[in-house]
Chain A
Amino acid sequence: MKTALNKKTAIDKRLLAVWAVLSAITLIYLWIDRSADDGGAPTASTAVTVSAIILALVKVRIIMREFMEVRHAPALLRRLTDLWVVLMAASLLGMYFVGKAVA
């Protein structure tokens, strides 16, 4: 009984820590946005775009590993989800840079 309770407390703490990390990363966006402003109208920024995409994918991976319990899943699912995150990063950044090159 005590073991179950200990385990439960540990689980609660871990989930809460994951939530705090995800929320903190979300708040970083406010800082990024503010520091990219020169007081005037917003300007295009490759650094902001790339970091926004990477931070979002870091969050996606944390959600998959922790909230979706992929961390306890068989290797196939762990590798597939990681591959997907890499695939998303390559597609999004790739399309952005191709778009910029074509412009």
Chain B
Amino acid sequence: MTTTQPVTATAKEPRRVPGQPDMWVFVLFESLVFTSYFGVYLYYRAQREEAFLQAQSHLDLWLGVLGTIVLLTSSWSVARCVQTARAGQYRAATRDAFLTAGFGVAFLALKIVEWTGHVQAGHTFTSDDFFQHYFFLTAIHCVHLLIGFVVLGVLVHQLASPDRRSQETVETCATYWHTVDFFWVLIFALLYVVR
């Protein structure tokens, strides 16, 4: 009889914070730091629109869109990882974690290709205001991404042994990875699309 229970039963589960609350404090704090920087960028940009537009025209929007979708896909797979781990399917969860790292590496490769192209074309950190913001924002994001790989390593290590498995840690790691993703969503819009 109980096997025909509707799939919407999840709504009745008790509400709880995903992962450790400390990670959420970090997410909210880091969001404020990024928001401040974005604000400064938009403020200066609005005052020198022509110069910013001219430099911005050297960015490839398609490459930016591709990178964004790759990173969104990594977020999707780490969200899956949380759910498969919750269902006790640890092999599948580990596979999802590796898939996430794979998409992260693909994003990083795209970034390196992009950076190399700009530097070869003579657009560097010191060439103009726009590229200074571009290199600063993409680099600081990349640092967060690299930390993300360490976080995924912790996740895989946790999943590997029944003694270490903790759903809270899995969720904490995923929360960090999603944060790296949504920071990029904002950076992408501000660097590639805003005009």
Residues of chain A at the chain B interface (Cβ within 8 Å): 1-4, 6-12, 15-16, 18-19, 22-23, 26-27, 29-30, 32-33, 36, 41-45, 48-49, 52-53, 55-57, 59-60, 63-64, 66-70, 72-75, 77, 80-81, 84, 87-88, 91-92, 94-100, 102-103
- Give bound CA distance, A97 to B43, whole Å: 8
Closest CB-CB distance, A78 to chain B, in whole Å?
A: 9
Residues 121-165 of B at the A interface (beta carbon under 8 Å): none
Q: How many residues of B contact A (CB 8 A)?
A: 64
Question: A residues within 8 A CB of B9?
Answer: 3, 7
| A29-B61 contact given A6-B7, A18-B76, A70-B18, CB 8 Å threshold | yes
Question: B residues within 8 A CB of A99?
Answer: 42-47
| A53-B189 contact given A16-B76, A66-B79, A69-B171, CB 8 Å threshold | yes
Question: A residues within 8 A CB of B87?
Answer: 4, 7-8
Asked if B120 is an interface residue, CB under 8 A from chain A, the answer is no
Residues of chain B at the chain A interface (Cβ within 8 Å): 2-5, 7, 9-10, 13, 15-18, 24, 28, 31-32, 35-36, 38-40, 42-50, 53-54, 56-57, 61-62, 65, 68-69, 72-73, 75-76, 78-80, 82-83, 87, 171, 174-175, 178, 181-182, 185-186, 188-190, 192-195
Question: A residues within 8 A CB of B40?
Answer: 95
Question: B residues within 8 A CB of A84?
Answer: 28, 31
Interface contacts beyond A42-B56, A73-B18, A100-B46: sample of 20 additional A-B pairs, CB < 8 Å, sorted by A = A3-B9, A4-B87, A6-B7, A19-B73, A19-B76, A26-B65, A26-B68, A26-B188, A29-B188, A29-B189, A44-B195, A56-B185, A56-B186, A67-B78, A67-B79, A69-B79, A72-B10, A74-B16, A96-B42, A103-B46
20 contacts between A and B (CB under 8 A): A18-B76, A19-B72, A19-B75, A23-B69, A29-B192, A29-B193, A42-B53, A56-B185, A60-B185, A60-B186, A64-B182, A73-B16, A74-B16, A92-B35, A92-B190, A95-B40, A96-B42, A96-B43, A98-B43, A99-B47
Closest CB-CB distance, A64 to chain B, in whole Å?
A: 7
- Across the A-B interface, how many residue pairs have beta carbons closer than 8 Å? 179
Do the beta carbons of B57 and A29 come within 8 Å of each other?
A: no
Question: B residues within 8 A CB of A48?
Answer: 193-195
Question: B residues within 8 A CB of A42?
Answer: 53, 56-57, 195
- Give bound CA distance, A75 to B171, whole Å: 18
Do the beta carbons of A56 and B189 come within 8 Å of each other?
A: yes
- Give bound CA distance, A29 to B174, whole Å: 27
Do the beta carbons of B17 and A92 come within 8 Å of each other?
A: no
Do the beta carbons of A77 and B24 come within 8 Å of each other?
A: yes
Do the beta carbons of B17 and A77 come within 8 Å of each other?
A: yes
